[in-house]
Amino acid sequence: MSETATTHSTPSAPPHATWHALTPEDVQRQLQAEPGGLSADEVRQRLALHGPNRLAPPKRRGPLLRFVLQFHNILLYVMMGAAAITAALGHWVDTGVLLAAVVVNAIIGFIQEGKAEAALEAIRSMLSPHATVLRDGRRLDIDASDLVPGDRVLLAPGDRVPADLRLVEVRDLRVEEAALTGESLPVDKDTRAVAADAPLGDRAGMAYSGTLVVYGQATGIVVATGSRTELGQINRMLAGIRNISTPLLRQIDRFGRILALTILALAAATFVLGVLWREHAPAEMFMMVVALAASAIPEGLPAIMTVTLALGVQRMARRHAIVRRLPAVETLGSVTVICSDKTGTLTRNEMTVQRVVCAELDVNVSGVGYEPVGDFNIGPHVVDANRHPSLSLALRAGVICNDAQLRDDNGVWQVVGDPTEGALLVVGQKSGFTQHIGSAEWPRLDSIPFESQHRFMATWNRDADGQSWIFVKGAPERLLDICSFECTDAGDRPIEVDTWRRMANDTAARGLRLLGLACKRAEPAGAQLGFSDVEHGFMMLGLVGIVDPPREEAIRAVQECQRAGIRVKMITGDHVETARAIGAQLGIGVGKPAITGAEVALMDDAALRRVAMEVDVFARASPEHKLRLVQALQEDGQVVAMTGDGVNDAPALKRADVGVAMGNKGTDAAKEASDVVLANDNFATIAAAVREGRAVYDNLKKFILFMLPTNGGEALVVIAAIMFELTLPLTPAQILWINMVTSSTLGLALAFEPAEDGIMRRRPRPPGQPLLSGFFVWRVVLVSVLMMSGALGLFLWELSHGSSLETARTMAVNAIVVAEMFYLLNSRHVLASVLNREGLTGNRVALLAIAACVPLQLAFTHLPVMQGIFGSTDLHLAEWLKVLGAGLMVFFIAEFEKFVIRRLPITAKLAVV
Ligand code: ATP
C-alpha cells in the first residue's frame, strides 16, 4: 500500500492505474481535494498543467485528400472516360469542357461537403457534455472539458460520467459500463478499495469516463481527465452525427445513380444502333450520345440536396433545436402528435409559492419570482408566519428538506438546483428562515433524493437539542398515505385525510403545482435513511401551492401546431387537477377528459389505443407510461414526437419517431436517446423545428421540380435530334455548361427559400408519401416539353430562316438558360402563384442567382474565348428578344398550369404544397 501511495505523491502527475486500490481518504489527500472542492486558483493551475478534459479530435482528412476523393464517383469516371475518347477523336475542345466539368463538379462536391461539415461541427460544439462539481463550497454546472484532477464531481441518474472518478460517497449508485466493458447490465458501486490488479469491471470504487449512471447518487474525485481516462473518449454522444444524409437523400442518391446507369445503357444502345443500323459515323454518333448522357443526368442533384439539408440543420440550430440524427429533419415535417412535458417546457419553470395550507390555516403568500420579499395573508390580514407554529414548522420543513440554493447575484435572485425547491427556499426566507446544506443548525445526516418515480424527498436531520427528525416533502397523495397525524398551532392530532384531499384538489384546480410537507421525530431503523423509514407514523405539516405560469410563446406554439393538424398532448408528473388547469391555459385538452398514470396502468394495450388519441392531458405519469403511450399512438398510425429529460425517459425517446430531449435539464442519457435536443427546453422550439422540417422538405421537393425539367428538356432536344436525324441543337460542351454552371447556380437558391406562409396551416405530410408523386411526374414532363419546345423551336426557326448553325445553337442554349431563370421563380411555390411582389422578390438569393447568371450568359455568348470553347456566337437584340420570349412562354404557361391545378377539386386532397 505504501508503495502505491508513493506513486501518487504529487497531484500533478497521477499515474492512473491504481487509484482503485486506494481508500477515498488517501485519494483525497493525494490529490489535495478538499471536501468543499477546489478553489478557482487551484483549478486554473491544474488546468494549465493537465490541459482540458477533452480528447484530441479524431484526425480529419486533409483538404487535398478530401478534394481528390471527390473524383471517386461513377459519374465523374464516365465523364473522364468520355473526355479520353473525345481526345482520341481529336475533339480537343470537348475534351477540355468535359474535364473542366469534372473539376467543377469536384469543387462543388468539396464545397458542399465543407458546408455540411460546418453544420455538423456547430452541432457538435452545442452538445458538449457538462458536469456538476463542487468548487469553493459551491455547486456548479460546468463544461466537462474544464474538469481537472482533484475536482469533486456529483453524479446523478442519467449522467455520463465526465472523467475517471474515485468514488468517495455513494448512495445506491448503479452504473452501466457497456461503453467500457461491453457489459450492458448496470453494476453496483461503492467506495471500497480493491486489489491493485482487479479487472476494470470489478473496481467498485471507480466510475469511469463515458459510462452511464442509471440509478442513485454519488460524489467522486476526478483522478484522470482527457486522453488519460480509461475510456480515452468521452464524446460517444456525438457518435450519431457522422455524415449528413437522410432516407430521402439516400433515396435521391439511389434515384440519381439508377437514372445515370439507365441513361448510359440507353446511350450505349443508341450508339450501337446509330452506327450499325443507320450507319452514322462512329465519331459523330459518339458526340450525340455524350450529349444525350450529359443532358439527361442531373449532375448537381445530390450535392445541392445535401446543402439544402445542411442549411436546414443550421437554421434549426439557430432556433435552438439541435438535430442529432439527421433523418429527424424529414420526420419532423410529418409529425402528427407532439407529446410534451409540462414543467419547464410548456411552463416557465419559475416557481413561486402562492398558497400554504396547514390543518387550520389557509395562507396566501404575496410576491413574485425568486426575490424573497412578500407577506403572508390570512383572509385580508397580514400575519407573522412565526406566530403560527404549524405554518412556521411547515416552512422550515420545506427549507430543510431541500437541495437547492438561493443566491443574490447583485440584486438578481437566482436558484441553483430544482426550481420547485427554490420556491420553498424563497417562501422560507420570506418568513425569515434560511438554511444551507451542511449548516450547523439542523445538520443533515442523510437523505433520499427526489426522483420522479417515487415523487418524494426525505432527509434525516438533528435539531439544536440533538433530537432526530425525518422530513419528507413530495406529492400530497404519497404523503397522506404515510401520515397519521396533522400539525396545528395547538399541537398534533389525528389526521383528517379527506379535508387535506379537498384542499389539495382545490389548490390544484387553480393550476398550482402541489407539494406536501410532513415530518416525524424519530431515528431511522438503520445507520442510513431507507425507504422503510418513510412508510408510516408521519405528521402532515402542510400543503404548498406553487404557480408556474405557462410560457407565452408556448401558448402561441400550441395554437400553431393545432392549426397545422398536429395534436399536442401534455404528459406530466403533476397532479391531475393542476395539469388540467394548466392545460386549459395552454389550450391543451380543453373540454376533454384528463387521465392519470394509474389509470393508464390499468388499461390493456387495446384500451389505451382507444383513449390515447382522445385524451390530451396525462397526469401523474411516469416514464413507462410515456413508452406505452408512444406505442399506442404509433399503432394508431400517428407519427409521434415525444419529449423527455430523465434517464428513464430514454426508451420512450428512442421509440418515438422524433425523440426530443431537453438541453438544460435533460440528462445525458435522454439526450443520447433523442433525435433532437432543445437548447432552451422550450415547447415553442419544437413547433419551430416542425416548421423548419416542413420547409426543408418543401425546398428539397422544389429543387427537384426545378432541376429535373432542365435535364428533361435538354434530353428531349437531343432525342428529337437523334430521332429526326437533325444536326445536334446543343453540343455536349454547351449542355455541360447549362448543367454545371447555370442550373447549379440557380438551383442552389432554392435551398435558401423561406418557409411558405401557410406552411403551418397545412396538414402533416402523410409518412411514406413518395416524393415523386404522379403530380410531380406530370409537372416535370410538362416543363421539360416546354423547355424543349422553346429551344428546339427557336433552333429550327433560325435554321430555316437562314441563320448559321452557331447562331441557332447559341439561341437554343440561351433559350434554355433564360427559361430556367424564369422557371426558378415559378419553382418558388409548387402551386401558389408567384405573380405578386412576394413571389417575384421574396427570395433575395434567387434574384441574386438570376443576376449572377446574366453576365455568365452574356460572356458565354459574346466573349471570344467562350465562343472558341463552346462554339457560341454573338446575338443581336432581336435574337435576344426571341430568347426572352421563349423564357416568358415557359414562365406564363407554368403559372397557368398552377392556376388550373389549384382549381381542380382533387388538389386539396393531394396535399401538395
Ligand atoms: P413534467 O416535467 O413531466 O411535466 P413534473 O416536473 O411536474 O412534470 P415531477 O418532477 O416528476 O413532474 O414531479 C411530480 C410531483 O413530484 C410534483 O407534482 C410534486 O408533487 C413532486 N415533486 C416535484 N419536485 C419535487 C422535489 N424536488 N421534492 C419533492 N417532491 C417533488
Question: Each residue of 272-314: pLDDT tens digit?
Answer: 888 888 777 888 788 778 878 877 877 677 777 777 888 888 8
| Average pLDDT score over residue span 551-567 | 94
Atom of ligand 1 nearest to the CA of 473: 29
Q: Using a 6 Å cutoff on CB, does residue 675 contact ligand 1?
A: no
Q: Which atom of ligand 1 is nearest to the CA of 474?
A: 30
* pLDDT at position 517 over 90: yes
Beta strands (DSSP E) in 198-276 are: 206-207, 212-224
Of 455, 517, 617, the one to substitute when testing ligand 1's pocket (max ligand atoms within 8 A of C-beta) is 455
pLDDT exceeds cutoff 90 at 464: no
Ligand 1 within 6 A of CB of 843: no
**Burial of residue 565, with CB atoms counted within 10 A of its CB: 0-12 exposed, 13-18 middle, 19 or more buried:** middle
456-462 vs 444-448, strand pairing mode: antiparallel
Contact 546, 352 (CB under 8 A): yes
* Secondary structure E strands in 87-245: 130-135, 138-143, 152-155, 164-176, 187-188, 206-207, 212-224
Average pLDDT over residues 207-234: 83
What is the share, in percent, of the chain residues with pLDDT greater than 90? 47
**Separation between Cα atoms, residue 97 and residue 102, nearest integer Å:** 9
Rounded (10°) angle between helices 877-903 and 774-800: 160
Position 292: which residue type?
A: L
Residues noted as catalytic: 341
- State how far the Cα of 187 lies from the Cα of 197, in Å rounded to an integer: 19
Cβ of 574 below 6 Å from ligand 1 = yes
SS3 386: helix
Please, which residues have CB within 8 angstroms of residue 833's CB and are 6 or more apart in sequence?
Answer: 839, 895, 898, 899
Q: Which three cell numbers stand for residue 149?
A: 484532477
- CA 692-300-746 angle, to 5 degrees, is 70
The model scores a pTM over 0.85: no
- Worst-scoring range by mean pLDDT, 267-271, 374-378, 631-635? 267-271
pLDDT of res. 122: 67
Banded model confidence at residue 17, pLDDT cuts 50, 70, 90: low
Range with lowest mean pLDDT among 206-210, 293-297, 406-410, 412-416: 293-297
- Centre of ligand 1 to C-alpha 453, Å, is 9
| Nearest-CA residue for atom 5 of ligand 1 | 573
Residue 403 Cα: closest atom of ligand 1: 27
What is the C-alpha separation between 379 and 382, in angstroms, rounded?
Answer: 8
Over range 669-673, report the average pLDDT.
85
**342, 347, 421, 450: residue to mutate for ligand 1 pocket, most atoms within 8 A of CB:** 450
| Cα 418 to ligand 1 centre (Å) | 10
Does any ligand 1 atom lie closer than 6 A to the CB of residue 572?
Answer: yes
- DSSP H helices in 51-128: 63-69, 74-88, 92-126
DSSP code at position 97: H
Q: Name the DSSP letter for residue 453.
A: T
Instruction: Flag whether pLDDT at 241 surpasses 50.
Output: no
The atom of ligand 1 lying closest to the CA of 621 is 3
CA of 668 to the centre of ligand 1 (A): 20
Distance between Cα 618 and ligand 1 center (Å): 14
Look up residue 37 and give its DSSP letter: -
**Taking residues 556-562, what's their average pLDDT?**
95
User: What pLDDT shows up at residue 235?
Assistant: 47
* pLDDT greater than 70 at residue 687: yes
Bigger pLDDT: 74 vs 611: 611
Residue 651's contacts (CB-CB under 8 Å, 6 or more residues apart) are 623, 627, 673
CA atoms of 902 and 758, how far apart (whole Å) = 15
- What is the sign, positive or negative, of the torsion defined by CA atoms of 444, 447, 451, 457? negative
Is residue 217 a contact partner of residue 209, using CB atoms and an 8 Å limit?
no
3 state DSSP class of 444: strand
Average pLDDT over residues 21-33: 89
Q: Which helix (H) or strand (E) holds 251?
A: helix 247-276
> Contact 512/546 with Cβ under 8 angstroms?
yes
Answer yes or no: are the C-beta atoms of 16 and 224 closer than 8 Å: yes
CA of 24 to the centre of ligand 1 (A): 34
* Closest protein CA for atom 2 of ligand 1: 343
Report how far ligand 1's centroid is from the alpha carbon of 53 (Å): 34
Ligand 1 pocket test target in 355, 416, 418, 420 with most atoms within 8 Å of CB: 420
CA nearest ligand 1 atom 31, residue: 474
Cα 549 to ligand 1 centre (Å): 15
836, three cell numbers: 405578386
Q: Which atom of ligand 1 is nearest to the CA of 341?
A: 4
Q: Which residue has the cell 458546408?
A: 115
- Ligand 1 atom closest to residue 455's alpha carbon, by position in its atom list: 16
pLDDT score at 124: 63
Contacts for 690 with CB less than 8 Å, ≥ 6 apart: 332, 333, 335, 338, 561, 564, 566, 641, 760
- Does residue 341 line the site of ligand 1, with CB under 6 A? yes
**Mean pLDDT over the full length of the chain:** 86
Task: Identify the structural domains of the chain with CATH numbers, from first to last.
Answer: 19-57+128-161+164-224 (2.70.150.10), 249-316+689-912 (1.20.1110.10), 321-347+551-685 (3.40.50.1000), 352-547 (3.40.1110.10)
Taking residues 142-169, report their average pLDDT.
91
Q: Which residues pair with 170 in a beta bridge?
A: 218
pLDDT above 70: percentage of residues in the chain: 91
Predicted confidence band at 11 (pLDDT cuts at 50, 70, 90)? Answer: very low
Most confident of 12-16, 612-616, 837-841: 612-616
C-alpha 573 to ligand 1 mean position (Å): 6
Which residues have C-beta within 8 Å of that of residue 94, sequence separation ≥ 6?
83, 86, 287, 290, 731, 732, 733
Lowest mean pLDDT among 84-98, 138-152, 703-717: 84-98
Chain Cα centroid distance, residue 822: 36
Give the neighbor-by-neighbor strand order of the sheet with 567-571.
321-323, 676-678, 658-662, 640-644, 337-340, 567-571, 617-619, 594-596
Cα 276 from Cα 270, distance rounded (Å): 10
pLDDT at residue 667, as a whole number: 83
Beta carbon of 473 within 6 Å of any ligand 1 atom = yes
Half-sphere exposure of 671 (CA within 13 A, CB side): 32
Q: How confident is the model at residue 242 (pLDDT cuts 50, 70, 90)?
A: very low
